[in-house]
Structure 1
Amino acid sequence: MQVSEAVPQFAEAFAFEEFNRMQREMLPALLESDENVVASAPTASGKTALAELAICKALRDDGTALFIAPLRALTNEKESDWERFEDLGYSVYVVTGERDLNPRRAERADILVMTPEKTDSATRKHDSARYSFITDIDCCVIDEVHLLDSEKRGAVLEVTISRLRRLCDPRVVALSATMPNVSDVADWLDAPPETTFEFGDDYRPVDLHADVKTYTHGDNSFADKYRRLYRALDLAEPHIREDGQALVFVASRQDTVQAAKKACDEIAERDIPIGARGDYDFHTETQELRNETLRNSVLDGVAFHHAGLAKNDRDRVEEWFKQGKIQLLFSTSTLAWGVNLPARCVVLRDTKLHDPLEGEVDMSPLDVLQMLGRAGRPGYDDVGYGWVVCDFKDADKYRKLLRDGKEIESRLAEDLDSHLNAEIAMGTISDLDDVMSWLRTTFYYVRAQSKPDEYDFENHRERVRNTLQRLVSRGFVERGDDLKIEGTALAVLASKFYLDLDTAERFRRLAETEEIDASKILETVAGAAEFDSVSSRQSERDAINSVLVGQDSGDLEAGGRKVLAILRSSMTGSTPGDLRSDAWVIQQNAVRLFAALRAFLKRLDRPFAANLVTRIEARVENGVGERSVGLTAIDGVGAGRASKLATEGLETPADVCEAGVDGLVAAGLSEGVAEQVEASARKLPDVEVEWGSFPTRIGRGENDMREVTVRNHGDGEQAAMDVTVNGVEMTTKSTYLDGETTVPVGVFGGTDDEMEFTVRVAFPDVPLLPFTDARSVRVE
């Protein structure tokens, strides 16, 4: 059927003119029904078009569609792919990080694109103005719904969809690779039989021959990588010699680069006819690549692909692979879940990967099947070849996976405490009956009925009661006299900031500590449960010890000490080379934890400690010194500019204002940037303390009440003020400081001959050093 015949008003939104057999069979369910839809189909069979058809139905009905993509890298690709919808007058908006969210654009969007984690966060905050858009969804398309079985992310997707259905009950269209128990997913989503589809391998455009090849595991993991690489090249070589293409999946971004380099040498050694060095036009095109290593390898017909490459480089690699100019491509799993780049031969060189937060882990069975599914090029091959290269002791496990597939299980029970806490904190659960009602909306409940023994379904009510009791005993939930339950402030903060419950308790303990300094803050975050699985490799020990020499790391284990070393070195932009491979992921997670800790401290009335956390967070993000951290509060000043300005002696926003545009230009900024930076600096809080008629002397034993005026010359901001006398705190005040306010100060003649009165002003949410001013009073 022609696209223009089925959806005439959206024909230009599709990248092809005719639907295939699977797509034709699903047209009535997607376009003529309002029922929920579940479809399981082989990889490369055209599921993306099913998502687009569901979106077309929502737009035709003047609704808003949400597309949940499995990876963050793919959300950006959808934004690019769906410019076709933009050309038809519909707006597409990708919802990413908290700081980048534009609520107005999200509210007005016709198509929203989000990851499961972002959707979870948005639904948790649905009653805030920033995230209210999430309750206006009319159709939710879940791409790769078999992600439910992911150990780390499955439960998030499960509770998010259950919550979204309770909030606004959108039509749900769930798409999946082949899975044996598609009926369980359909039961969970209330998709009737007539809109539940299970397409077998006969719908796969190209037959797949998948098998396992083993290698002998040695003592050196580095050498093992090359053993597996040579095995992968052995499997790919015959197909490349026949003008086919091979796609080799490896564990990490760095591995794609190293494998491509080594493969170029090995291909030359084996004299495999590959590459396009004689193609002058292609040679000219390659010079536009940003990555130098990639620029050299593509001329030999070898390339690599990962989410860290510049988008232009990724786009060109994908295009050249489709054109056949690249015959051997090394990639991370991003290509398996996203871009449709099939190859005659697919090899999984690595079945284990290093996760910065988890250490060495097995690749998910879902990832394995997803990658192998890329084998076979429709229109070019009659059969695709997929190989898993693994240690002989793992061979039977992977053969069974290839033979039987993978049933989709619920992962909710593995983190039931945290997810139940989130629901209670939002107020959607107020008693035990509500808990059971919530549980019945989950995939866990459906799956437990299918496999009651494995899920211990008979005792599920007892499990829920025990979970609830733990939350009560740990201070997350309060139980009233009428058996009602309610989330505490601790529960709300843990849910809002997506915290492990152990971490929330850890933050509360710090907030209740009398003296809070930078070392305690860093140690608290480094020891968070989110970092429990971080491992410290032998090669990293010296680097860790060099960073922490002379520093107290408390009771942290080896993994926590590694996190602490990365955070401390990040604050000065001096992370040792041996720690850099994991540093980015750890820094990003730490920044989120710092934001949560700041909220804890503000909630428990510790604003000066909150300001210290804000400054530490800014230093970890930007690698700037303690004196110049305030520069990062200026819009347009990141790590590079902050360093440049500090080197020129401009360490604070006040210094920037005093220097003016001319001074900033002299410090190395262009005139346009200098004007923006100066204007932004002038908006930041700028504090002045006016002591007025404050006395210079007082009689011993006398008392006098005075008022000190605190004035902010910048934009308004939440502020904390305190007054100390000879180091002892006497007065505190928190207020939104826009203009001026007064602080009462009791002047008294004590036993000391001189009284030092100090006013401190700090801004909990702005990384400015606290402002201090003092006056001395003689006691006579």
Structure 2
Amino acid sequence: MKVAEAVPEFADAFGFEEFNRMQREALPAILDTDHNVVASAPTASGKTALAELAICRTLRDEGTALFIAPLRALTTEKETEWERFEDLGYSVYVVTGERDLNPRRAARADILVMTPEKTDSATRKHDSARYSFIEDVDCVVIDEVHLLDSETRGGVLEVTVSRMRRICDPRIVALSATMPNIDDVAAWLDAPDETTFEFGDDYRPVDLHAGVKTYTHGENSFADKYRRLYRAFDLAEPHIRDGGQSLVFVSSRQDAVRAAAKARDELAKRDVPIGARGDYDFHNEAKELSNDSLAKGVLDGVGFHHAGLSRDDREAVEEWFKEGKIQLLFSTSTLAWGVNLPARCVVIRDTKHHDPLEGEVDISPLDILQMLGRAGRPGYDDVGYGWVVCDRSDQNKYRRLLREGKEIESRLAEDLDSHLNAEIAMGTIRDLDDVMSWLETTFYYRRAQSNPAAYDFEDLRSRVRDVLDRLVSRGFVEMDDDLSIDATPLGRLTSKYYLRLGTASRFADLAERDRITADDVLETVAGAADFRQVSARQSEVDAVDSVLTGVSTTLEDGPKKVLAILHASMANSTPSELRSDAWVIKQNALRLLSALREFLDTFADARAANLAKRVEARVDNGVSSDAAALTAVDGIGPGRARKLATGGLSTPADVVDAGVKELTRAGLSQGVAERVIESAKDLPAPDIDWGEFPESVARGESDMHDIRVRNDGGGGSVGVRVTVNDVEMSTKTCYLSDEVTVPVGVFGAADDELEFVVEVAFPDLPLLPIRESRTVRVE
């Protein structure tokens, strides 16, 4: 069946001219019915085309399609790949981070591309103007729906799909690698038999021979890596000698680089014919690579691939591997989920990996099967070879996985309290009956029906009620006598910021303290439940202690390492021993700091929120406390902030007063200086007017006076706090545009002097609070 005959108006959106057998069989269900579709098929059999057909059907009906990709790295890849749809006049928009979201572009998009986590976040906020676009989705395509069985991400995908069905009831097209219990997924999604497809191994374009090879585990994990690497060389070598290609999966980006370097030496030692040094054009193309290690290796036929490479370098590696110029490629698991780069031989060298947030963990069975599925090149090989290299003690586990596959289980129960809290916070659940109705929309409930013994189906309702009772007792949820349910402010903030309940409780506890310091903020975040599984390797301990010299902390092991990374980030000086985990930990910490700021604003006061905001600015930008306020000015990045602070400018007001001439002297061009000054003028610039505030008061007398807080800059949220002799007298939170009046009582008390302090703090901005004082004599 020709593409041009099946979908003539979309023929140019496909990268081929004719559908294969699997695609032909599924096509009528996707194009000619409105039913939900579930299709499982072996890796490399062409499932992407089914996703594109579903998108074409949606566009033909003038609808909006949402493609849920399993990894963030694949969302940008789809954006590039689907420029073909852009060429046909349709808009493709990738929704990634909160800061980068353009709501207008998202609302106008014909094709949205998101991860499960981003879709979850958007659906939680669907009633806000910023995320209302999610309500207009007509078709949801779930790529790799077997992600439901992921320990860390499966529950998120499950509740998100259930929520989407309640919000806008879109058509669901779920695609997957082979899964034994596809009927459970189809029943959950209400896909009828005629649109549920289970394409077996006979639909694989190339037969797969998969097996397990073992090695003997030693005392030294570093030496073990090399034992496994030599095992991988032994398995790959015959195929390379025969003109084939091998793909070796390793656990980290750093391992991919190191293994490739070692492979070049080992293959030369074994005299394996590999490489293209005589190819003059290839030699010149390799010079264009931005990664020097990669440029050296590819000429010897050895490359590496991971998400940390620049897009141009990644695309070059993929192209050269397809052309056969790279014969041995080392990669992280990202490649298994995305780019279709099959090889005659696939070796999984590492079955465990170091997760910055979880410590040493097993690579999931889903990832193992996904990686092995890359073995075999259609059109070149009759058979592909896939090998798992593992410790002898694990061999039976992996042999069973290869023999029986992996049934898809629900992971919702592992974080049921957080997901239930989110639904209550959204207003989906208002009473006990709603709790059970929601539960019945989940894959968890469907799987429990299918496998009642494993899921203890008879006791399911009481377990969910226990979770609800815990939410009530911990202050996340309120339940009235009539059993109506509502979220508390704590529960709503927890859902809004995607927090674990333990983390939210920790934040609320901090807000109750009388005095909060910057060290308290950092300690609270570093000790959050999100970082509980972080581990500090032996090689990192000295670096952690060095960074925390002079810092008092009760944290130990992994959380202490997190604290060190946060302090190092503020100082813009992260030790090399901590850099491998620093980026992931810092990004998660910034999310938590942003949440903590709002917790403090809600449950403490504006000055505590402002402190958290200043700490966040320092961690994010790597600047001193003197320079933190400057990061609020558009056009002043970390480098400029540090430079200006060194020159004595530490506030937006200083920048305005310095003028264009002074800023150009500091290295800014005139145009940039002018824009920076205008941006600085847009920030609030309060001025405290004490009016006719008295210098003295008679003992026993009292009087009321108005203090005005005027604003010469742009509007913004402020908290005004008045104290007398360090005792809080009044607080006021408001939006400051022109001015606000604060009434202050002057009482002739027993003290001989009264020191009145007015403080204006900015809960949303990293600006230092404005403080002024007046002393009144009591006569």
C-alpha distance in structure 2 between counterparts of 1:608 and 1:258, whole Å: 49
Which residue type is aligned with residue 79 of structure 1?
Answer: E
Instruction: Give the C-alpha shift of residue 547 in structure 1.
Output: 2.2
Structure 1 residues not aligned, in runs of 5+:
none
Which residue type is aligned with residue 625 of structure 2?
Answer: E
Which residue type is aligned with residue 572 of structure 1?
Answer: A
Which residue type is aligned with residue 73 of structure 1?
Answer: A
CA deviation string 1:545-593 (max 9, x = no partner): 2222332213x23222111111122111122222221111111111111
1:431 is aligned to 431
Trace 1:90-239 onto structure 2 (pairs within 5 A): 90-239=90-239
Counterpart contact for 1:644–1:668, Cα < 8 Å: no
Which residue type is aligned with residue 19 of structure 1?
Answer: F
1:381 is aligned to 381
Helix, strand or coil at the partner of 2:572:
coil
Tell which deviates more after alignment, 123-132 or 171-180. 123-132
Helix, strand or coil at the partner of 2:453:
coil
CA deviation string 1:579-633 (max 9, x = no partner): 2211111111111111111111122241110000011111111111111101111
C-alpha distance in structure 1 between counterparts of 2:536 and 2:692, whole Å: 60
| 2:762 matches 1:763 | yes
Instruction: Give the C-alpha shift of residue 693 in structure 1.
Output: 2.4
Trace 1:628-639 onto structure 2 (pairs within 5 A): 628-639=627-638
Helix, strand or coil at the partner of 1:229:
helix
| 2:83 matches 1:83 | yes
C-alpha distance in structure 1 between counterparts of 2:773 and 2:278, whole Å: 76
Counterpart contact for 2:532–2:559, Cα < 8 Å: yes
1:597 is aligned to 596
Q: Tell me: CA distance 1:658–1:271, structure 2 relative to 1, closer, same or farther (3 Å).
A: farther
C-alpha distance in structure 2 between counterparts of 1:660 and 1:252, whole Å: 49
1:33 is aligned to 33
1:513 is aligned to 513
Which residue type is aligned with residue 297 of structure 1?
Answer: G
C-alpha distance in structure 2 between counterparts of 1:680 and 1:278, whole Å: 56
Which residue type is aligned with residue 367 of structure 2?
Answer: D
C-alpha distance in structure 2 between counterparts of 1:155 and 1:397, whole Å: 24
Instruction: Give the C-alpha shift of residue 663 in structure 1.
Output: 2.1
Helix, strand or coil at the partner of 1:657:
helix
Instruction: Give the C-alpha shift of residue 776 in structure 1.
Output: 3.0
Trace 1:222-301 onto structure 2 (pairs within 5 A): 222-301=222-301
C-alpha distance in structure 2 between counterparts of 1:748 and 1:469, whole Å: 49
2:409 is aligned to 409
1:336 is aligned to 336
C-alpha distance in structure 1 between counterparts of 2:777 and 2:131, whole Å: 56
Instruction: Give the C-alpha shift of residue 132 in structure 1.
Output: 1.0
Helix, strand or coil at the partner of 1:374:
coil
Instruction: Give the C-alpha shift of residue 542 in structure 1.
Output: 1.5
2:642 is aligned to 643
Q: Tell me: CA distance 1:162–1:713, structure 2 relative to 1, closer, same or farther (3 Å).
A: same
1:11 is aligned to 11
| 2:772 matches 1:773 | yes
C-alpha distance in structure 2 between counterparts of 1:194 and 1:370, whole Å: 27
Aligned positions, number? 779
Instruction: Give the C-alpha shift of residue 647 in structure 1.
Output: 2.9
| 2:493 matches 1:503 | no
Helix, strand or coil at the partner of 1:329:
strand
C-alpha distance in structure 2 between counterparts of 1:647 and 1:276, whole Å: 52
C-alpha distance in structure 2 between counterparts of 1:316 and 1:348, whole Å: 23
Which residue type is aligned with residue 406 of structure 1?
Answer: K
Counterpart contact for 2:40–2:179, Cα < 8 Å: yes
C-alpha distance in structure 1 between counterparts of 2:691 and 2:87, whole Å: 64
Tell which deviates more after alignment, 608-617 or 227-236. 227-236
C-alpha distance in structure 2 between counterparts of 1:761 and 1:91, whole Å: 46
C-alpha distance in structure 1 between counterparts of 2:565 and 2:463, whole Å: 39
Helix, strand or coil at the partner of 2:449:
helix
2:578 is aligned to 579
Counterpart contact for 2:347–2:386, Cα < 8 Å: yes
C-alpha distance in structure 1 between counterparts of 2:752 and 2:393, whole Å: 81
Helix, strand or coil at the partner of 1:126:
coil
Helix, strand or coil at the partner of 1:15:
coil
Tell which deviates more after alignment, 498-507 or 630-639. 630-639
Counterpart contact for 2:512–2:604, Cα < 8 Å: no
2:545 is aligned to 545
C-alpha distance in structure 1 between counterparts of 2:660 and 2:260, whole Å: 48
Counterpart contact for 2:719–2:762, Cα < 8 Å: yes
Tell which deviates more after alignment, 260-269 or 648-657. 648-657
CA deviation string 1:655-709 (max 9, x = no partner): 2222223322222233343333222222112221222222333334433322222
CA deviation string 1:442-466 (max 9, x = no partner): 1111111111101101111111111
Q: Tell me: CA distance 1:671–1:260, structure 2 relative to 1, closer, same or farther (3 Å).
A: farther
C-alpha distance in structure 2 between counterparts of 1:42 and 1:671, whole Å: 60
Helix, strand or coil at the partner of 2:454:
coil
CA deviation string 1:296-336 (max 9, x = no partner): 11111111111111111111111111111111111111100
| 2:45 matches 1:45 | yes
2:559 is aligned to 560
2:705 is aligned to 706
C-alpha distance in structure 2 between counterparts of 1:73 and 1:365, whole Å: 20
Counterpart contact for 1:570–1:621, Cα < 8 Å: yes
Instruction: Give the C-alpha shift of residue 169 in structure 1.
Output: 0.6
Structure 1 runs, 4 residues or longer, greater than 6 Å off: none
- The sequence identity of aligned pairs, in percent, is 74
1:719 is aligned to 718
1:623 is aligned to 622
Which residue type is aligned with residue 302 of structure 1?
Answer: V
C-alpha distance in structure 2 between counterparts of 1:162 and 1:445, whole Å: 12
Tell which deviates more after alignment, 278-287 or 86-95. 278-287
Counterpart contact for 1:66–1:113, Cα < 8 Å: yes
Instruction: Give the C-alpha shift of residue 752 in structure 1.
Output: 4.0
C-alpha distance in structure 1 between counterparts of 2:430 and 2:2, whole Å: 52
Counterpart contact for 1:45–1:203, Cα < 8 Å: yes
Instruction: Give the C-alpha shift of residue 764 in structure 1.
Output: 0.4
RMSD: 1.4
2:70 is aligned to 70
Which residue type is aligned with residue 158 of structure 1?
Answer: E
Give TM-score scaled by structure 1 length.
0.98
Structure 2 residues not aligned, in runs of 5+:
none
Counterpart contact for 1:518–1:616, Cα < 8 Å: yes
C-alpha distance in structure 1 between counterparts of 2:213 and 2:341, whole Å: 23
Which residue type is aligned with residue 225 of structure 1?
Answer: K
C-alpha distance in structure 2 between counterparts of 1:293 and 1:673, whole Å: 37
Helix, strand or coil at the partner of 1:724:
strand
C-alpha distance in structure 2 between counterparts of 1:743 and 1:388, whole Å: 71
Helix, strand or coil at the partner of 2:530:
helix
C-alpha distance in structure 2 between counterparts of 1:29 and 1:315, whole Å: 34
C-alpha distance in structure 2 between counterparts of 1:155 and 1:627, whole Å: 43
1:613 is aligned to 612
Counterpart contact for 1:40–1:198, Cα < 8 Å: yes
Tell which deviates more after alignment, 271-280 or 328-337. 271-280
Q: Tell me: CA distance 1:668–1:753, structure 2 relative to 1, closer, same or farther (3 Å).
A: same
C-alpha distance in structure 2 between counterparts of 1:303 and 1:683, whole Å: 50
1:658 is aligned to 657
Which residue type is aligned with residue 436 of structure 1?
Answer: M
Which residue type is aligned with residue 318 of structure 1?
Answer: E
C-alpha distance in structure 2 between counterparts of 1:697 and 1:424, whole Å: 55
C-alpha distance in structure 2 between counterparts of 1:644 and 1:24, whole Å: 63
Counterpart contact for 2:605–2:719, Cα < 8 Å: no
Counterpart contact for 2:210–2:402, Cα < 8 Å: yes
Which residue type is aligned with residue 481 of structure 1?
Answer: D
Which residue type is aligned with residue 53 of structure 1?
Answer: L
Which residue type is aligned with residue 105 of structure 1?
Answer: R
Counterpart contact for 1:44–1:374, Cα < 8 Å: yes
Tell which deviates more after alignment, 90-99 or 702-711. 702-711
Which residue type is aligned with residue 722 of structure 1?
Answer: R
